[in-house]
């Protein structure tokens, strides 16, 4: 057994905010991240392509070119990037030696350099206040001294959202592949550092587990299990096809908790959720007013049981605004037989108008407004008003249930993911005390998760090409080119769904030239 070679230096106790805390942070802790959709949906300049225009704009890429040219170009860029990050971690660890409780930069060892990878702003998004280098390094040092792999975990990749303003299909596209490659870059960076220090060790020295949490949330937003299962299975195909299966494992959230969480903890989790649902329902249904949502949302920020003081809208209202563009509405299922263009136009109209009445209808008359799905191509304002109010009730109820589910995790004595997977370094999508928030590439001024949009190749300010994610409304509203796969196989059978888009700022002559541009100009930086 080898030691990391680092001497400890006496330190003050760790501040509370750098280790796990029970309960939601009342200053700042986001629980969902799609509220940017409200501004996009309200922009009348942005329009989805109708079917004819989509077909006319679309380009095709052969499945063979995806596997033989595009994916190797992505992998090559990732390998180069992780090598650069490994070199940077070595110098930064020496610069930050005091944050590890060391008296001299020469005391920096393998554990400190590996820990520094977790604090790389190319990988990690949040301010330093939420994690301690020294505290995290203690866990890493134990693994290094034992010659054990560095195990990491993140809940992510639930399912592709159904909103037609976000996506054009329900299966993983190049956005999810990009997410997986991003995790693999972290693994590869750690592996290079660890392997250089311990060439005698066999097998992988770093691994990432993704807990796919679609089964946690799908019933809240009316998504069937089949959607989650298809998405989860296709992710597994991509992991194998990319040959990442030695370093990345995807587990199902519900199965993990069922198999690995003690029964007493599961009962406490259910009891917390039930109590939170009752409390939120009592407080928030009393102020719900679909005819004056501005006042209702203002009041919600004042009275919600778990406020977020750093956000003027609190915590519940941003969650509500996000869920409006996440829910698969029961209210709109009657329009499923309509052509897709008609359904999407109605959805766009209703969501853009969601907080503002179309027309005043007395409450006692609302239920009498007859909705005829066959007239969905041109519904009256009275019909749209009834639909708007039905959608708002669904969204408000969903936000209450969602908060209850979030609290059922956050009010346990230990994070349930770490209860099930002890010894793992805990990553997260949203910054929390004691957890590492994953950095998400920014595009058009917003950060969009892989499952909440579509993949797009876009220029950076330095005129390099970056692969990121944007909602379909932002892409098609800007004139982006959808790219569909021709000659599909099991990994690329997307049933007409684009594999990715190309933003208008990327210039190329044809698909062959585009692939050459990607190979030549692709960068993996998350931040400049």
User: What does the pLDDT average to over 37-57?
Assistant: 93
More confident site: 7 or 349: 349
Instruction: Say yes or no to pLDDT of 25 above 70.
Output: no
- Mean pLDDT, the chain, rounded, equals 91
| CA–CA separation, 186 and 439 (whole Å) | 11
DSSP 8-state code for residue 455: E
Q: Is residue 113 part of a domain?
A: no
pLDDT of residue 36: 82
What radius of gyration do the chain's Cα atoms show? 24
The pLDDT of residue 403 is above 80: yes
Per DSSP, 97 falls in state G
Nearest alpha-carbon partner for 136 in 213, 190, 205: 190
Q: What is the pLDDT of residues 404-415, one digit of tens each?
A: 999 999 999 999
* pLDDT for the residue numbered 27: 55
User: What is the reported pLDDT for 86?
Assistant: 97
Residue 492 has a pLDDT of 72
Residue 312: is its pLDDT beyond 90?
Answer: no
- Say yes or no to pLDDT of 3 above 50: no
Mean pLDDT of 93-100: 94
Query: Whole-angstrom Cα distance, residue 162 to residue 168?
Result: 8
In this predicted structure, what is the pLDDT of residue 126? Answer: 65
Between 95 and 130, residue with greater pLDDT? 95
Q: How many CA atoms lie within 13 A of 100 on its CB side?
A: 32
Phi, psi of 59 (to 5 degrees): -110, 165
Count: domains in the chain: 1
| 454-459 and 446-447 strand pairing | unpaired
509 Cβ partners below 8 Å, 6+ apart? none
Q: Does an H or E element contain 501, and which?
A: strand 500-502
In this structure, the number of other CB atoms found within 10 A of the CB of residue 511 comes to: 17
pTM over 0.85: yes
- Rounded to the nearest angstrom, the gap between the alpha carbon of residue 487 and the centroid of all alpha carbons in its chain is 30
pLDDT of 13 strictly over 60: no
pLDDT score of 23 more than 70: no
DSSP bridge partners of 487: none
Which of 13-22, 163-172, 450-459 has the least mean pLDDT? 13-22
For residue 81, is it within any domain? Answer: no
Residue 131 lies in a domain: no
The pLDDT of residue 294 is above 60: yes
> Is it the case that residue 8 has pLDDT exceeding 80?
no
Tell whether 439 is covered by a domain: no
Q: Supply the range of the domain harboring residue 296.
A: 274-411
Say if CB 391 and CB 354 are below 8 A apart: yes
Indicate whether 216 pLDDT > 80.
yes
Count CA within 13 A, CB hemisphere, residue 96: 21
Whether 376 shows a pLDDT value over 60: the answer reads no
| Residue whose C-alpha is closest to residue 113's, from 121, 122, 105 | 105
User: Would the pLDDT of 32 be above 90?
Assistant: no
Q: Which tens digit of pLDDT belongs to each residue from 480-513?
A: 999 999 887 666 778 789 999 999 999 999 999 9
Burial 262-276 (b: 16+ CB within 10 A, else e): eeebeebbeebbeeb
Beta bridge partners of 156: 212
User: For the chain, what percent of residues have pLDDT higher than 70?
Assistant: 91
Encoded tokens for 310: 């750093």
pLDDT of 247 higher than 90: yes
- Confirm whether 313 is domain-assigned: yes
Place of tokens 């969480």: 261
What does the pLDDT average to over 441-450?
91
Confidence of residue 14 (pLDDT cuts 50, 70, 90): very low
Asked whether residue 106 is domain-assigned, the answer is: no
Residue 363 within any structural domain of the chain:
yes
> Per-residue pLDDT for 183 more than 60?
yes
């Amino acid at each position: 057994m080898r030691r990391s070679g680092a001497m400890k230096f006496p330190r003050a106790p760790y501040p509370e905010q750098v280790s796990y805390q029970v309960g939601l942070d009342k200053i700042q802790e986001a629980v969902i991240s799609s509220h940017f959709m409200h501004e996009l949906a309200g922009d009348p300049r942005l329009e989805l392509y109708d079917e004819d225009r989509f077909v006319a704009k679309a380009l095709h890429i052969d499945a063979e070119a995806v596997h033989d040219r595009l994916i190797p170009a992505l992998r090559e860029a990732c390998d180069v990037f992780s090598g650069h990050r490994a070199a940077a971690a070595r110098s930064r660890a020496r610069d930050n030696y005091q944050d590890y409780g060391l008296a001299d930069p020469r005391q920096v060892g393998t554990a400190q350099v590996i820990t520094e990878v977790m604090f790389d702003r190319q990988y990690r998004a949040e301010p330093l206040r939420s994690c301690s280098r020294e505290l995290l390094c203690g866990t890493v040092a134990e693994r290094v001294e034992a010659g054990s792999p560095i195990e990491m975990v993140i809940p992510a990749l639930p399912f592709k959202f159904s909103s037609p303003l976000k996506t054009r299909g329900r299966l993983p596209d190049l956005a999810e592949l990009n997410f997986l490659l991003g995790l693999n870059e972290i693994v590869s960076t750690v592996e290079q550092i660890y392997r250089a220090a311990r060439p005698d060790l066999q097998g992988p020295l770093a691994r990432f587990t993704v807990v796919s949490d679609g089964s946690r949330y799908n019933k809240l937003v009316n998504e069937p299990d089949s959607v989650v299962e298809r998405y989860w299975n296709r992710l597994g195909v991509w992991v194998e096809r990319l040959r990442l299966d030695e370093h990345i494992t995807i587990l199902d959230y519900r199965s993990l908790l069922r198999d690995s969480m003690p029964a007493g903890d599961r009962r406490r989790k259910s009891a917390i959720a039930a109590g939170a649902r009752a409390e939120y329902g009592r407080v928030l249904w009393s102020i719900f007013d679909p005819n004056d949502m501005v006042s209702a949302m203002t009041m919600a920020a004042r009275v919600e049981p778990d406020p977020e003081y750093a956000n003027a809208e609190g915590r519940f209202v941003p969650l509500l605004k996000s869920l409006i563009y996440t829910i698969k509405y029961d209210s709109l299922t009657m329009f499923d037989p309509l052509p897709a263009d008609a359904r999407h136009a109605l959805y766009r109209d209703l969501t853009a108008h969601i907080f503002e009445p179309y027309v005043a209808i007395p409450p006692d008359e609302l239920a009498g407004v007859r909705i005829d799905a066959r007239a969905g191509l041109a519904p009256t304002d009275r019909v749209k008003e009834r639909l708007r109010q039905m959608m708002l009730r669904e969204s408000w109820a969903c936000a209450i249930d969602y908060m209850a589910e979030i609290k059922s995790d956050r009010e346990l004595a230990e994070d349930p993911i770490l209860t099930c997977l002890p010894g793992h370094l805990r990553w997260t999508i949203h910054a929390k005390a004691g957890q590492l928030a994953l950095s998400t590439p920014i595009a058009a001024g917003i950060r969009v998760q892989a499952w909440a949009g579509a993949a797009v190749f876009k220029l950076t300010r330095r005129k390099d090409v970056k692969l990121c994610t944007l909602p379909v409304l932002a892409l098609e509203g800007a004139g982006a080119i959808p790219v569909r796969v021709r000659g599909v196989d099991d990994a690329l059978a997307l049933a007409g769904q684009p594999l990715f888009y190309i933003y208008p700022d990327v210039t190329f002559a044809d698909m062959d030239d585009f692939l050459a541009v990607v190979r030549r100009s692709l960068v993996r930086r998350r931040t400049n």
